[in-house]
Amino acid sequence: MNRPIKILVTKIGLDGHDRGARVVASAFREAGMEVIYTSPWQRIEDVVSISLQEDVDIIAISSLAYDHLIIPKLMNALVEEELDDKKVIVGGIIPKEDEEILLTAGVAKIFHPGESLDSIIESVERLMENQKEMR
């Protein structure tokens, strides 16, 4: 039986600007996805724990400050907990020079301001289709 895509939308570190994350979370819900939304200021351990408890397919991180630079630590923590099958996507203000850091760490997709909600949803659906094909 197919279930909806289950996605965790969260913010890690000290960045508290969550308006964009809330907009994207609503768009995911409207697209039929099951969304777990956390408040800002999550610790890496908390994101890993929630991902495990909720058995999410995708972890969506929103960043408007430089908190995206701790995402490699999140990726390492996911590997340590054997959750490296979870796709991680990042959206927000990500300077071009930091993109390679995130992609090398294992981030599946980066979204920048101005990206359409439809495009983000299509990308998430494509990521999950590719994941199913690999199994």
Over its length of 135 residues, how does the chain's per-residue pLDDT go in tens digits? 488 999 999 999 877 788 889 999 999 999 999 999 998 899 999 999 999 999 999 999 999 888 899 999 999 999 999 999 999 999 999 999 999 999 999 999 999 999 999 999 999 999 999 876 665
For residue 9, the model assigns a pLDDT of 97
Residue 120, domain member (yes or no): yes
The CATH number that applies at residue 48 is 3.40.50.280
Domain of 129? Answer: 6-134
Residue 1, domain member (yes or no): no
Residue 83, domain member (yes or no): yes
For residue 67, the model assigns a pLDDT of 87
Burial of 118 (0-12, 13-18, 19+ CB in 10 A): exposed
DSSP 65: S
Tell me how many domains the chain contains: 1
- Give the C-alpha separation, 72 to 120, whole Å: 22
For residue 65, the model assigns a pLDDT of 83
DSSP 35: E
Burial of 127 (0-12, 13-18, 19+ CB in 10 A): middle
